[in-house]
């Protein structure tokens, strides 16, 4: 009798453990499903919201951006109002220089340049630190218009989603126009028109080649550097020399060669 009771108790205990394990697994699975559903809903809402704003920006220029508010209220910078320039009013050589130094495949990719990412990873690994980035102009614009300068995987993911949406909903020239008018060029300084007047006191149409090269070189880190203060940065100095000598030397060579051919 005692032996039978012990066997029954053992069976009940095993059954209880199995039931508890099943209940715990079922509860865990239910929780995971709920989290996934919530994540999907948030993701869809984010995509729809960003898409709506992007479509609005197709015809309208924003007066302020989250980054501007962040610089004003968190960094305590004096943010100057953006002065927008239509795309067709921006000098062609500035457009070509920006493309050459920031994203030479801008008019070919769909917002993300996989080859540039691979190349940056290899270079950064060789030099031992993050020397080069791989963000396209579209990704940079996504950060400027919609995100805050707080590095995280979630922010990077949001940046990629927004960049892909921009490429779907906006013309390339409009993306480039917004980039040149809203990219950060100093502490509280946004847009190429503001930057030109702030640093050189002249309209962008009146800048010398050296001034254009210096102005565009600091786009890599405009908070730390200014056009006349590279502070020994190899990256900014290298960008300056590429723009100053390689770009203009090549352009001048092409012009002279074309002139010689037509004579």
- Alpha carbons 43 and 158: distance in angstroms, whole number: 10
- Report pLDDT for 231: 76
Percentage of the residues of the chain whose pLDDT score is greater than 90: 52
Percentage of the residues of the chain whose pLDDT score is greater than 70: 78
Q: How many CB atoms lie within 10 A of CB 87?
A: 16
206-258 pLDDT, tens digit per residue, is: 999 999 999 999 999 999 999 988 878 888 998 998 898 876 665 554 543 34
Q: Residue 35 — very low, low, confident or very high, per pLDDT cuts 50/70/90?
A: confident
247 DSSP assignment: I
Q: Residue 120 — very low, low, confident or very high, per pLDDT cuts 50/70/90?
A: low
Q: Considering only 106-120, 141-155, 226-240, which range has the smallest mean pLDDT?
A: 106-120
The yes-or-no verdict on residue 13 having pLDDT over 80 is no
- Specify whether the CB–CB gap between 68 and 79 falls below 8 A: yes
The yes-or-no verdict on residue 195 having pLDDT over 50 is yes
Q: Considering only 21-25, 87-91, 113-117, 213-217, which range has the smallest mean pLDDT?
A: 21-25
Mean pLDDT value of segment 27-40 = 79
| Strand-pair partners of 189 | 186
Nearest to 130 by CA among 112, 141, 117: 117
The yes-or-no verdict on residue 201 having pLDDT over 80 is yes
- Report pLDDT for 169: 96
Q: Where is pLDDT greater, at 17 or 220?
A: 220
The yes-or-no verdict on residue 196 having pLDDT over 90 is yes
Please state the φ and ψ torsions of residue 226, each to the nearest 5 degrees: -125, 165
Q: Residue 12 — very low, low, confident or very high, per pLDDT cuts 50/70/90?
A: very low
| Full-model pTM | 0.80
- Report pLDDT for 31: 78
- Report pLDDT for 167: 95
Token pair of 219 as six digits: 């786009």
Nearest to 160 by CA among 129, 117, 119, 221: 117
Q: Considering only 58-62, 186-190, 236-240, which range has the smallest mean pLDDT?
A: 236-240
| Strand-pair partners of 185 | none
- Specify whether the CB–CB gap between 215 and 101 falls below 8 A: no
Q: 186 in helix, strand or coil?
A: strand
- Specify whether the CB–CB gap between 110 and 167 falls below 8 A: yes
Token pair of 190 as six digits: 């946004």
- Alpha carbons 107 and 40: distance in angstroms, whole number: 32
Q: How many CB atoms lie within 10 A of CB 243?
A: 22
Mean pLDDT value of segment 126-144 = 78
- Report pLDDT for 132: 59
3-state percent breakdown (helix, strand, coil) of the chain, nearest 5: 70, 5, 30
Q: Residue 135 — very low, low, confident or very high, per pLDDT cuts 50/70/90?
A: confident
- Report pLDDT for 77: 96
Q: Tokens 């949406």 — which residue?
A: 165
């Amino acid at each position: 009798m005692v032996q039978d009771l012990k066997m029954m108790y053992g069976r009940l205990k095993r059954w209880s453990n199995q039931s508890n394990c099943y209940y715990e697994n079922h509860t865990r699975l239910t929780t995971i499903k709920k989290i996934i559903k919530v994540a999907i809903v948030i993701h869809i809402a984010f995509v729809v919201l960003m898409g709506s704003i992007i479509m609005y920006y197709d015809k309208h220029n924003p007066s302020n951006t989250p980054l501007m508010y962040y610089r004003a209220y968190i960094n305590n910078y004096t943010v100057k109002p953006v002065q927008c320039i239509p795309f067709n009013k921006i000098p062609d050589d500035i457009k070509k220089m920006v493309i050459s130094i920031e994203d030479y495949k801008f008019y070919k990719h769909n917002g993300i340049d996989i080859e540039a990412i691979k190349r940056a990873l290899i270079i950064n690994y060789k030099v031992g630190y993050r020397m080069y980035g791989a963000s396209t102009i579209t990704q940079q614009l996504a950060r400027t218009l919609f995100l805050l300068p707080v590095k995280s995987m979630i922010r990077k993911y949001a940046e990629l989603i927004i960049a892909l949406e921009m490429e779907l909903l906006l013309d390339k020239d409009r993306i480039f126009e917004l980039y040149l008018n809203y990219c950060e060029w100093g502490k509280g300084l946004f847009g190429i028109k503001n930057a030109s007047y702030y640093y050189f006191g002249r309209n962008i149409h009146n800048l010398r080649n050296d001034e254009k090269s210096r102005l565009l070189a600091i786009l890599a880190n405009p908070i730390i550097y200014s056009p006349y203060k590279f502070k020994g940065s190899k990256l900014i100095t290298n960008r300056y020399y590429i723009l100053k000598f390689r770009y203009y030397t090549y352009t001048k060579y092409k012009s002279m060669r074309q002139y010689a051919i037509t004579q």
